[in-house]
Amino acid sequence: MTQIFVVNSAYGLMTAVAGMDAGAIPASGEARILVAVNAAIIPEVGEGIVDAAHLATLRDRFDLVIDLNALLAPERPSHWQVTVAEAAVLERLLRQAWRIDGDRVELYLQSPQVAPSRVFIDVFAGAPVSIIGDGLMTYSPLRDRWPPAVARRVTGVVYADTVPGVEPLLFAGTTRAPVGIASFRAVVDDVARATLDPAIDELADVPRPVLVLGQYLSALKLVSADEERRMQRDMIDRALAWEPETIVFKPHPSAAPALIDDLAAHAAERGVAFRAFRGDAPAEVLALRVPFVGAVAGFSTALPTLHALTGLPIASVGTEVLLHRLTPFENGNRIPVTIIDALTRTDSPYRGESLQHLVDAVGYAMQPENAAPLRARAEEFLAAASPQERDRYVPRARLSSLGLPGGRRPGFFARRLGSRGGATRVAEVELILRGARRRSARAWRALRGE
């Protein structure tokens, strides 16, 4: 069977290779093809996984490497669409070009709900699909319900096990294939050894450094630019708890130079040296090459990964604000923020099974239809949680709308209707009435000859 991997980040590529080494991804028997995607907003100005020199040893693990950006240019992979008729033709063309011929195909996809991964599902119709973990986003429940014929093709989720005791909610009911941290660490070690960057060598000699990670949250419309600037200043202040001598700031590639200058001035006010690292090496590689005494971020996947890889102390800033700011409640960032908040709170009661219980409850509240089997778990967690804990993670209005513990007591009409499955029957009746009104309006227009 030929295995096709559609991957868009260094993290996804490291997860895939570690999964191959650990046996979480079985031997192919035929070729392994890497379809490399540069998913950056402006891919022309950033290095993708197909170009990065430090990822060469990982690319060498595949029999064929395809640069999808180059193949589709000037079309962006994230904008790629095909019709049903085009998909059948494209499958024949790709099989011929990639010498797959009549072999069975198995797809391993990062970010499966969007293009280009979604296109490959359509092109190789009938091929079994496994999901390559996308960091903490993998722990979120499925956002949109897939057609049953497509959903049945998903066989499992391969993910780096960086949050011990917690399983992802994505495609619940399929096989979980965790990649042990030792296997993941071995792959990151390979990348670290292959990374040739004088700037990293210089940082290795910096006394008592703390790593601060920028995420560019204002670009996601989660906070304003001013709020993000204040949050990153707060990250420096939080880092002072480890008594550092140097702040090493790894900005988001889109960060403006003015932001870096502002943070450098803030660090100077606090009496610590400041260094900005603008290299392409991922934070995981930096943590293996530089003797950091701690790491601070917003809700970056790198935080639990760094802690799992090296035992590095971690901290976060702004998670409580973001938990209440994220809209709609179904926002896919909610589970990553929840996990980081729970892992870094000084008073956190959540680890292992208790953290899984929290993730299950929030995941159900996010997607009560797609995650309907989790309702009993959510009710159990919310009934036992204090009002403060419930309000932190699931607002009362959401609890009320879903008929969950901690919500407002329903009125007589709502009590008579009760709840069924994921949504309350009040919501179901509202939808039924809305549909009836639309049908009535159409019938009336027909009678009038409109």
From the list 289, 262, 288, the residue with the least C-alpha distance to 276 is 262
Alpha carbon distance 334, 393 (integer Å): 9
Residue tagged 């969007």 (tokens): 114
CB 7 within 8 A of CB 36: yes
Q: Using omega within 30 degrees of 0 as the cis cutoff, is the peptide bond preceding 116 cis? A: yes
Q: What is the pLDDT of residue 432?
A: 55
Beta-carbon contacts of residue 20 (< 8 Å; ≥ 6 apart): 32, 61
Q: What is the pLDDT of residue 428?
A: 52
Q: What is the pLDDT of residue 430?
A: 45
Q: Indicate the Cα dihedral angle 51, 55, 61, 66, nearest 10°.
A: -20
CB 3 within 8 A of CB 29: no
Q: The sheet that has 209-213: what strands, in order across it? A: 273-276, 246-250, 209-213, 295-297, 314-316
Alpha carbon distance 233, 105 (integer Å): 49
> In this predicted model, what pLDDT tens digit does every residue of 111-154 receive, in sequence order?
999 999 999 999 999 999 999 999 999 999 999 999 999 999 99
Whole-number average pLDDT of the chain: 92
Q: Using omega within 30 degrees of 0 as the cis cutoff, is the peptide bond preceding 328 cis? A: yes
Sign (positive/negative) of CA torsion 44, 289, 13, 66? positive
CB 267 within 8 A of CB 233: no
Q: What is the pLDDT of residue 265?
A: 98
* Secondary structure element (H or E) that encloses residue 123, with its range: helix 117-123
Q: The sheet that has 154-160: what strands, in order across it? A: 64-67, 32-36, 2-7, 105-109, 129-132, 154-160, 175-179
Burial class (CB in 10 A: 0-12, 13-18, 19+), 370: buried
Q: What is the pLDDT of residue 449?
A: 54
Length reported for the chain: 450
Sign (positive/negative) of CA torsion 117, 299, 389, 409? negative
Alpha carbon distance 142, 332 (integer Å): 9
Q: What is the pLDDT of residue 410?
A: 67
Give the chain's residues under pLDDT 70: 45, 410-450
Token duo for residue 99: 């010498």
Residue tagged 């996601």 (tokens): 220
Q: What is the pLDDT of residue 63?
A: 98
From the list 34, 71, 63, the residue with the least C-alpha distance to 50 is 34
pTM: 0.90
DSSP output for 339-374: HHHHHH-TT----THHHHHHHHHHHHHH-TTTTGGG
